[in-house]
Structure 1
Amino acid sequence: MTRVCLIGADDCTLQYELLSRETAREALSTYDLRRPFENTIALRTVSVGAAISLLNDLDWYLTRFVDEALVQEPSVSDEEWLSRELATQLRNSAVGPDETDEFCKIYGVERADPASAPGAPAASAAGANTESEGEHGSEEESGGESDERGDAATRTGGGQARTETQQTETTTEPTTPTPRRRLVEPLYVRRTGGDLPEYDLRDVDSTLVVRITEAEHSP
């Protein structure tokens, strides 16, 4: 299964912005949504093509509320992600799987107080089901990162949004005050000899590698 992870912009609560809008909510309604990092939404699709199609459908919202959209394709790597642009090139056969690993950016991953998260408390729109990572670990995250044990699930109160009042009914279960993970400033690197430089911008618990295009590496 191909994975998608949307990283919310710093000035918005991504889960609320997407799930409170009917078009975005309907586009996401068939997916099992997760939140592997602070202010993110992650899901699984059947293929790279399906992932790119979904991102294209959500493009209006991504432009406004998403800092970056990531795609992880198992046929390319089980540990590293692709930028949306590189995944699109892969889908269009403009690059091959073995041609995607030269240019990368590495996000640091650190623990954060949930009270400081842009998405806390998270609002889940009616008709959608979102969960934080629980006892089964971080399936949406790559590279063997630590899971968010004890982070409570956020579920909807059932029923469809009441379109008569043009409002979305939401219910949110209280979340356990367990530190969440957040992505911090990326380091742009170039792989040489099969190895990536170490992340050295700050002390972090772990890292997440995103393969990017040469143009994204040197804008």
Structure 2
Amino acid sequence: MTDVCIVAKEGKRLPGDLYAYETAYRALSTYDATYPWENALAVETISLGTAVSLLNDLDWYLARVAADAFVRDPSVSETEWLSRPLARDLRDGDGDPEDRVNRLKVYGIEDGRLVDPTMVLRGDAQEGTYERAEYDDAVVVRVTKDEFF
């Protein structure tokens, strides 16, 4: 199963602000939403293609209420997430899921919220934990070269 995570913009609340749009509500109503972080909503889809399609369907609404959205596909990584553009590239066959990506966006977790996304260049391209000492934990999102620069 592939997870989709939507992170709320500052001052927005999920699911309320997203579900206020009837079309977004209908698109998400077939999924069981969870809230892994206070400012994020997650749903489980059946595949990378389904996850990308869902985010594409929600694009107009995400532009209004979301700061970020990303995907975690177990065929690529059990722990690291993929940015929307990277997930789209992999779905379209424009990337190799076996490639270890050096470009990352790393979120800190503070008081149960995703905070302070920081771009990081990982030197050895080995998957694993990435620590942000000033935070309780971290969430790693692989990004494309274009997103990084």
| Shorter-chain TM-score tier | over 0.9
Distance 2:85 2:23 in 1: 23
Larger RCO of the pair (alpha carbons < 8 Å, separation 6+): 1
* Structure in which a larger fraction of residues adopt strand: 2
User: What corresponds to 2:5 in structure 1?
Assistant: 5
User: What corresponds to 1:207 in structure 2?
Assistant: 138
Amino acid at match of 1:70: F
Amino acid at match of 2:144: T
Distance 1:183 1:38 in 2: 8
User: What corresponds to 1:46 in structure 2?
Assistant: 46
Residue 52 of structure 1 deviates from its aligned partner by 0.7
TM-score (norm 1): 0.64
Deviation readout 1:114-165 (Å, 9 max, x if unpaired): xxxxxxxxxxxxxxxxxxxxxxxxxxxxxxxxxxxxxxxxxxxxxxxxxxxx
Residue 47 of structure 1 deviates from its aligned partner by 0.4
Equivalence map 1:102-121=2 (5 Å): 102-111=102-111
| Match status 1:194 vs 2:117 | no
Larger Rg: 1
Distance 2:107 2:22 in 1: 32
Change beyond 3 A, Cα 1:69–1:212? same
Distance 2:83 2:46 in 1: 18
**Residue segments in structure 2 that go unaligned for 5+ positions in a row:** none
Residue 55 of structure 1 deviates from its aligned partner by 0.7
Distance 2:15 2:123 in 1: 37
Distance 1:74 1:44 in 2: 12
Distance 2:45 2:13 in 1: 23
Q: How many residues align?
A: 148
TM-score (norm 2): 0.92
User: What corresponds to 2:19 in structure 1?
Assistant: 19
Amino acid at match of 1:26: R
User: What corresponds to 1:131 in structure 2?
Assistant: none
User: What corresponds to 2:94 in structure 1?
Assistant: 94
User: What corresponds to 1:70 in structure 2?
Assistant: 70
* Structure in which a larger fraction of residues adopt helix: 2
**Residue segments in structure 1 that go unaligned for 5+ positions in a row:** 112-180
Residue 186 of structure 1 deviates from its aligned partner by 1.7
Amino acid at match of 1:62: L
Residue 198 of structure 1 deviates from its aligned partner by 5.2
What percentage of residue pairs aligned between the two structures are identical? 45
**Matched-pair contact (CA < 8 Å) for 1:106–1:209:** yes
Match of 2:134, SS? coil
Change beyond 3 A, Cα 1:217–1:46? same
Residue 197 of structure 1 deviates from its aligned partner by 9.4
Distance 2:125 2:20 in 1: 43
| Match status 1:33 vs 2:33 | yes
Residue 22 of structure 1 deviates from its aligned partner by 1.1
User: What corresponds to 1:160 in structure 2?
Assistant: none
What is the RMSD computed on CA atoms of the aligned residues? Answer: 1.7
